[in-house]
Every structure is written in structure tokens, then in C-alpha cells.
Amino acid sequence: MTGAEIIVQVLVDEGVQTVFGYSGGAILPTYDAVFRYNDEHRGDNGTAPLPLIVPANEQGAGFMAAGYARASGRVGVCMVTSGPGATNTVTPIRDSLADSVPMVVICGQVPTNVIGTDAFQEAPVSAIMGPVAKHVFLVTDPHQLEETVRTAFEIAAMGRPGPVVIDVPKDVQNWVGEFQGTGRLPIDAYRKRIDAAVGSEIPASAAKSFFDILRASKRPLIYAGGGVVSANASEALRAFARRFGIPVTTTLMGIGACDTTDPLALRMLGMHGAAAANYAVDDCDFLIAIGARFDDRVAAVPDKFAPKALKVAHFDIDPCEIGKVKAADWHNVGLLNRDLHQLIAWADSHALRTDFSAWHRELEELKRTYAMDYDRASPLIQPNYIIEQINLHTQGNAIITTGVGQHQMWSAQYFDFREPRLWLTSGSMGTMGFGLPAAIGAQLANPERLVIDIDGDASIRMNLGELETVTTYNLPIKIVVLNNYGDGMVKQWQKLYYQGRLSATDKSLHRKDFVRAAQADGFDYAVRLENKADVPKVIQEFVSFPGPAFLEVIIDRDAGVYPMVGPGMAYDQMITGDFIPSRQKVTVEQDPGSTSMF
């Protein structure tokens, strides 16, 4: 086989079903190999076994692969050419590393004999990608190509998932050699670390000490992060919470790990978390962190996070996260699914019973008193109302993707999610332009699911070219643009902390006609919604439309995201706005401080 054919064969052997990418000179041999493989193995109905989805831009391809991986749990694959093709994937690669998303990115590279000469469309991929990827391979020995590609999939999926980059010079793709059909690179140190985590079952003594803490607790609380979803441990988490009656709050990335409609669910905590969830964190006496990393959006002031917690327990697959931000009194590095079930088994064998009914009553009162709310009487369309109306149709069963900004937070606050992998958003990186291409990847991974991209007028601009990708492949994705004529989240901060100086964020004078843009890209359903009275009828039509559908909603320009925990603030300083009660009056500091984070 040629090197290009070897790459394609390994992709097939690894179970890859879709490849996202944009062609170019340095990757042409592999693209040609994909074409020939599909031509030779086409199904009876004419379907290609390895479809190649072509975006408008390589960044879109990267986010499509990430959306595919997030929605399916399988490794996403992106294939691009050298130089600008590769560098356009830097943002989705970093985004996937930050959110622990398994992805393999195959980059074409100039021939090995001209690497380092500033050849046409050459970029130092290893140097650029090294800091933002889980691992980078530059294949200079063609005899190691097959092992390298196979090992890349292993690294991407094992342990804490992440993106792996393979930089393949064109001459390596054209090389002809024998296909072995087996073999991986000798990454012994990495495999030993993974084996250590796999082998670290919770000993009986550690289980006993955990339950000693739990029995002494009156207000335990589970703080679940994206690691639960990545580890496919949602069912184990739910069984654990039910077995002991422990309430659950999740991070932005952990949404869906616990059914948001479950009585034990407190929804999201953090900077824009539910007030009841944040107050529960303040009140708990035993915090159990599962697959979470105490990031600054949740624990901006670590010493004041869960201030009444006498003990903290921490479960994770990554030993680097234990004690990184907040000290843990009890911890375990291992497989979440197995470890939670082991603790349940230990408790069952010792007939351990817990009763936190008094704590449950306290939390029910918190949820009633500090319920999410907004200006329901406003004549203007409130974004919260739009999401509530869509949620009436989806019932927590649709895949929701978002861009980044206010619309992202409203979606996290008001949508229900009955299962994991239904909520796809850029968490740690906060990348605008994520939502639309991620929805494409998610729809291809789950063709029978309803997929809805909730976007903002500023965020969708970043990858607006992917509208055409939706219609090119006739994907029945539903796209909502909540248009407040500007960068809403930044404007909210400018109003709170910069005396309302809307520097570079007010786009009210811009002339973008999103509906006509969608129509130009082939959307048969493209509607602008401006009147509040029309909302239920239009939402019904939009959600039930059988093909790609686009809806622009002109929302209240001054609508804010509340609750909000300001930069460098603790939960007792949470701003709840005009429609959600607060435990105490909070004064907004006009100067956010030179060391505060956005």
C-alpha cells in the first residue's frame, strides 16, 4: 500500500465512519485514497463507507469532528492540508484539549527533504500544536506510519481524552510499503500511567473512610463535572446519587450527567449557575467532586468555595487535578464508572443506610425561593422565553449545541437534558463560532436525533459559512439566532463594570440580514421572529419543519444573564438580578480589578 492507503485502512480498522476536512496539495494523496476506497467499497445503495464532509473552513472541520466526538463518545477525525489548513485547526484542537474531547487531526505536510526551508504552505505543526494538543506526531519514517496512526487513536481515547495531531509529509503519503494490519508504538510510560489508573480499585479501607465521612455528614452534595460524561459514567453517577440520596449539581460541561428533571438535580452551579445550586454549595458540609476540576468559573475564590464543607472528596482519572485548586480530604484516581459502582457494592454489603431527608427539604425550599425567572411581562421577546418554548417540544431529548455568550448561558439554565451527550458547548476555551459546525458533527453522529444550534448574532458570524454545509448535506439541523445586535455577554460586563461604555460590542449599525443569508445558502425555512405573540406558533413550525431550518429571533437588547457571580467573587456575593430573589443585597463594584478574570 501507499502511505495514504495505509492511513485510510487504519481509519477503517479503527471504526471511523465519518471524516471532516478540506483538501489541499500536501494532503492530496490521502484524499485520493479516501476517494478510491469509497469507490471500491460502496454499498448496494450507493453509500460511501467513509464519507468525507467538506466544510467552508478548516476550523469548521475541527469543530465538526469535535461535535461528532462529543455527541457520540467516539474519536472524531479531521483531515486537512499543510500550512494554513493545519493552522486553521489550532482553535478546535485547543478547544478539544481544554474540554477533554477525543479527536485525531491528520495534517498534510511538505516533503521531508524541504521541511524547515519555508516551502510553499509549510507550517511548523509540531511547534505550533505541541502546547495545545494531547500529543503530536511528525512522521518522518514511513515504516512507522501505520503504527503511529493506530497509536494516535489509542492516546486520544485513553485516560483523560484529548486531541492528537499526526503531521504526515507528502512523500510519506506516497511511499509504498507492506501493510502489517497490527502494531502500535512503544509508548510504555504512558500506558503504565493508564494501567495504574485502571488498576487502582478502591480498597476496603478507603471505602470505609469515605462512608465514615458520609455518615457524619448532614448536608452532602455531589459536584459533577464533564469528566463524568467523558468517562461514560453518567449511569453510575445517577445510581450513586439515588442509592445514598445525595443531591447533584453539575458544571457547564457536566450538564446531562444527571437528569435535570430528577428531584435530586440542582442543575448548574458557578458563575451563571442556578441560585439554589450555588446556595447549596455554600450550605453543604461534605462536597463530593466527581470528574470536576474546580475551575475559575466554579471556584473563583477557592478558599470561599463550599466554605462550610468540613470534608472534600475528589474522584478523577487525572492525578494532576487532585489538590490542584482545592485540597481533598479523600480522593481516588481511577475509572469513575467502576469506582462509583464499587462504593455502592461496599455499602450494600455492609447494609449501609443514609437519611438526608431534612437536607432534601432544605433544598426544595431553596429551589422554590430562588427559582430561575426573568421579565415575563415584558412586551419584548425575552431569550429565556424562547428557550422555554423550544424546551416544551424537545422535553430534554434533543441535542443542543451553542456558540459562546449569553445565549450559551440561557441555554444551560433553561433547557432540560435527560441524558448525557445532549449538551455540546465550548466550555473552557469559550470559543465563539463553535455551535453551528458542532451541530453538523452531532447530526452526522446521530442522524435520528433532533439537533438544535442555539446561537448568538455575534457568535454565529464566526463560522457563518457552514450554513451552506448544512444544506449541502441536507442535514435537518435547526438553527436559532438570538439577535440582540451585539456581543451580549461583553456588553453586560461593560454595563456592570465599565459605566456602559460599549467599546466595539454594539453592532446595531451593522447590516447583516441573517434570514437572507440563510436563504442564499439554500434554507427553505428561514424566518425572522419579532413579535412576542407569534412565539408559540413560530416555534412549533420551526421545530417540526422536516429539513434544515433557520430562525432569527429579535430579542430584548438589554436582557441579561442572571444569576451572576462577578469576577473574583464568592457565591455569597452572587448578583441575582431583578427577578430572582437573593439572600442578601449585593453591591456591584464598578471597577472589576486589574487581576480579575473575564
Whether 423 contacts 391, CB under 8 Å: no
Cell of residue 150, nine digits: 493506530
58 is catalytic: yes
C-alpha span between 99 and 96 (Å, rounded): 5
Strands 423-424 and 451-456, bridge-based pairing? unpaired
Angle between helix 488-497 and helix 406-414 axes, rounded to 10 deg: 100
Cell 439554589 locates to 276
Residue of 9, 121, 389, 519 with catalytic role: 121
* Closest by CA position to 390, among listed 263, 544, 556: 544
- In this structure, the number of other CB atoms found within 10 A of the CB of residue 395 comes to 10
What residues are paired with 482 via a beta bridge?
456, 553
Whether 547 contacts 474, CB under 8 Å: yes
122 is catalytic: no
- In this structure, the number of other CB atoms found within 10 A of the CB of residue 242 comes to 14
Whether 289 contacts 295, CB under 8 Å: no
Residue of 462, 489, 564, 574 with catalytic role: 489
C-alpha span between 280 and 275 (Å, rounded): 8
Question: Alpha helices of 395-465 — where are they, by DSSP H?
Answer: 406-414, 435-445, 457-461
Residue of 170, 311, 478, 491 with catalytic role: 170
Cell 518522518 locates to 140
Residue of 5, 14, 58, 146 with catalytic role: 58
Residue type, 29: P
Residues 6+ apart with CB under 8 A from 273: 249, 267, 298, 563, 565
121 is catalytic: yes
Positions annotated as catalytic residues are 58, 120-121, 170, 489
